[in-house]
Amino acid sequence: MSDVAPQLPKAYEPSAVEADLYADWERAGLFHAEPDASGEPFSIVIPPPNVTGSLHVGHALDNTIQDVIVRRERMRGKNAVWIPGTDHAGIATQMVVEKQLAAEGLTRHDLGREAFLERVWAWREESGGTILRQLRVLGCSPDWEREAFTFDEQRNRAVTKVFVDWYAQGLIYRGTRLINWDPALRTALSDIEVEHREITGELVHFRYPLVDGDGASDADGGIVVATTRVETMLGDTAIAVHPDDERYRHLVGRSVRHPFVEREIPIIADDYVDPAFGSGAVKITPAHDPNDHAIGERHGLAMLDVMDDAGAMSEAAGPFAGLDRFAARAAVKEALDGLGLLVEVKDHVHPVGHSQRSGVIVEPRLSDQWFVAVRSLAERAAEAVRDGLVTFVPERSARSFLEWLDGLHDWCISRQLWWGHRIPAWYGPDGELRVQAEQPEGEGWVQDEDVLDTWFSSQLWPFTAFGWPDATPELARWYPTSTLVTGYDINTFWVSRMLMAGLAFTDEVPFRVVHNHGLVRDEHGKKMSKSFGNVIDPLDLVEAYGADATRFALLRNAAPGIDVPLAEEWVEGAKRFVNKLWNAARFTISNLDGQRPGALPPEERRTLEDRWLLDALAAMHAEVDTAYDAYDWPVVARGIYRFVWDEFADWYLEAVKDRIYGDDVEAQRDARAVLAHVLEMTLRLAAPLLPFVTEAAWRPLTGSAGGAASLMAADWPEAAGQVNADARSRFAIVQGLVREVHRFRSQLRIAPSVRIELDVEPADATARAVLAEHAGLVRSLAGLGRLDVVDALPERAGSSSIVFPSGRASVPLEGVIDLEAEAARLRTERERALADVARLDAKLANEGFVSRAPADVVAKEREKRAAAERAVDELTARLAAFGVDA
């Protein structure tokens, strides 16, 4: 090794360099962008994580992808910005603080609204920013000078404006609707905050006695209904049957008597009822079931709310008042049984809505809330997707997205919480309602108690992050954003709302591309969760294996829209690759003798391995460029991996050693030029993915002192023009022979120290030319003492032969091998070759194949057949030479 070799450590130590490199980039302002800088604009806004949260693998994946994209766009000369920020995360954050209070034996009501909010802000001060700091250790490069928060003053103004404007346009309204109620959190939820889970419940059949029934006939015995939530019968205000149902037609218009409360209930006819389900008669509870509610509206039924906000039965539930809804379920069933009205109880599996946040079963409840009328907004959003103004990667995401938009119901945006944007609605002393930014003049105005769904503010993020509603230079420059990177799981929660709001307030789509990645799971595809004990902390990974390895391991399996399996040992594998790259760079740099990357040697002075490597580099470059553009991370990762490890390190570095260590000065200089060029290109192409190790190698390679001369600020390489495909096939001849010699040695247990000698008989003129010209290369790669290219292999006792794709060779063995073992091996090989011949013969005898298959395919098969036959002959002869029968 040259003595000018910089002192590069033998093993790459991420922890020793990452923090310094990151600080250097940041100091040099490489993350920062100005709107008036040159270059085509490119922008990404971070999906803002919960301000009080901490980094999990999902964040690591999402942000690594964004970082890779933005780093590459910067290198491509774009005026690229990545806006960081956090979300106040309404319910989630409030719950955390409430839990803290509970540990002190307090509830938020003990503190009161104002003190509680102070407490949340204090928690935000304490824990806020942690998650963004953690992004730094991953190497993420957002513009830290532009950090935003969904609940800061700027974003507050935006939220208020949107609410006031939409109200004025009739797109926000207040109304009494059946909403999803979370009895644990005591707040309304939107439809998508409800998760449906299959539950085995009971389908309870019971009988309502008819009013004025005489009990003499079956019909007068009453009418049987079925329900899974029998406690809701306390709020029944009708029984519905299908109008065509012969069984019940005569009962329509009569009434039944409620067994527990003083009420007569009419029997009505409605098309909604399915005569085939249950008894064909449905109890109608308009205040507690969406279908029943619709029927109630059609028939003008009373809407009787029989529960309170905690899910206990209210006064309206008569004798069951005060019981929790589930206790009431059991009690009502028992009471019905006591009255002889219980007919049948069957197990029944059905989906039940659960609160995404608290996990409790959601109660449909009639309630006064604020809504966004989504119809027109959703239609406009769908149109933008159909028109291709927004595209999805993977494309199929668009279809489910459109279907979802199509079935959208109005969005319930009010929450009975305290942490969030307070609704800008004011109630006057005489009951007047005003929606406006400021408290109205005069006495007695009271602001609405509720806050907005957290997604209400995050839907504005792509433009509020740039300062909207102010007309900022940033907004003009970088909005609409370029790409939104997010898991497919929040397309409905967030992406759809951003699209609707963006179109409504900016007349533009908020992003041109939505790149959906999958969810990070464990190595068997199982969801990571604390209870399974399979959670991986990305910070642990970075600490143990480095940021590059963590990034590489994540992206290596992150195909668009597909869940990403991750195991710690795979990150370890990624670290080995990083180390491989480091050592290939270290070897290269150490042998350059101060020579810097520059012009390649002229065509005529390039060796076969030079031309082969440059061709391989060009192929990798093209593949990786395309894959970067398509957000196809596994292909990017594999392309770089394969080139670095298999082609550059395993073959080229071995092949180049003769020239590097030799005394032909010009050859040495040429070899160094190719080495330096290829390493430099490789570092650039890998830089977005592996920012640290590439930067660490770039500096000694180029003599850069970092800062503004960092790899991070270097240009993205232009695609190489000409590739020499010829080199690939010629080098393959060399590789074919070298591999066979290795195999031969391994099979015959010939120690590497034994320099074997070879007579080679090439199969054709090309192989002859290549092997004659590059005998030295083959000798050094295969560890040969001698290589002679001959017209015909010499007949020699005690020699064995090697068959390789472009010819055969003979090796004098001088009794160093086990003849028995070799003969057995030859026999097996010969049998295999015979089977090949038979198979290919059968195929070529098939007229359909010969006449219909493309000519080149048939020719290929014929060649294979000829080769197999030659192999049989060869092996037969070799066995004979061993004095053994085939």
Partner RNA sequence: GGGCACGUAGCUCAGUGGGAGAGCGCUGCCUUCACACGGCAGAGGUCAGAGGUUCGAUACCUCUCGUGCCCACCA
Residue 308 to residue 224: CA distance in whole angstroms: 28
Q: How far is the CB of 101 from RNA (least distance, A)?
A: 31
Tokens of 881: 């030479």
Q: How far is the CB of 390 from RNA (least distance, A)?
A: 18
Using CA atoms in the order 273, 279, 282, 288, what is the torsion angle rounded to 10 degrees?
Answer: -120
Residue 432: partners with Cβ closer than 8 Å, 6 or more residues away: none
Would you call 289 helix, strand, or coil by DSSP?
coil
CB nearer to RNA: pick between 638 and 796: 638
Residue 420 to residue 154: CA distance in whole angstroms: 14
Q: How far is the CB of 273 from RNA (least distance, A)?
A: 4
CB nearer to RNA: pick between 537 and 650: 650
Residue 306 to residue 319: CA distance in whole angstroms: 11
Q: How far is the CB of 229 from RNA (least distance, A)?
A: 6
CB nearer to RNA: pick between 40 and 395: 395
Would you call 42 helix, strand, or coil by DSSP?
strand
Residue 83 to residue 63: CA distance in whole angstroms: 11
Q: How far is the CB of 74 from RNA (least distance, A)?
A: 29
Q: Which residues pair with 195 in a beta bridge?
A: 354
- In one-letter notation, the amino acid at residue 106 is L
Q: How far is the CB of 146 from RNA (least distance, A)?
A: 32
CB nearer to RNA: pick between 444 and 662: 662
Q: How far is the CB of 201 from RNA (least distance, A)?
A: 9
Q: How far is the CB of 614 from RNA (least distance, A)?
A: 18
Buried b (16+ CB within 10 A) or exposed e, 410-433: bbbbbbbbbbbbbbbbbbeeeeee
Tokens of 749: 């247990």
CB nearer to RNA: pick between 410 and 670: 410
CB nearer to RNA: pick between 60 and 475: 60
Backbone angles phi and psi of 761, in degrees to 5? -115, 100
Tell me how many degrees the CA angle 68-71-77 measures, rounded to the nearest 5. 140
Task: Calculate Rg over the CA atoms of the chain.
Answer: 37
Alpha helix segments (H runs only) across 128-168: 130-137, 153-168
CB nearer to RNA: pick between 70 and 284: 284
Residue 551 to residue 583: CA distance in whole angstroms: 19
CB nearer to RNA: pick between 173 and 849: 849
Tokens of 673: 């030029």
CB nearer to RNA: pick between 317 and 627: 627
Q: How far is the CB of 881 from RNA (least distance, A)?
A: 22
Using CA atoms in the order 150, 152, 154, 157, what is the torsion angle rounded to 10 degrees?
Answer: 80
Q: Give me the residue label for tokens 């060869």.
A: 874
- In one-letter notation, the amino acid at residue 553 is A
| Cis status of the peptide bond prior to 394, with omega within 30 of 0 | yes
**Is the sign of the CA dihedral 350, 356, 359, 363 positive or negative?**
negative
Q: How far is the CB of 9 from RNA (least distance, A)?
A: 9
Q: How far is the CB of 279 from RNA (least distance, A)?
A: 7
CB nearer to RNA: pick between 326 and 661: 661
CB nearer to RNA: pick between 721 and 848: 848
User: Is 369 within 8 Å of 414 (Cβ atoms)?
Assistant: yes
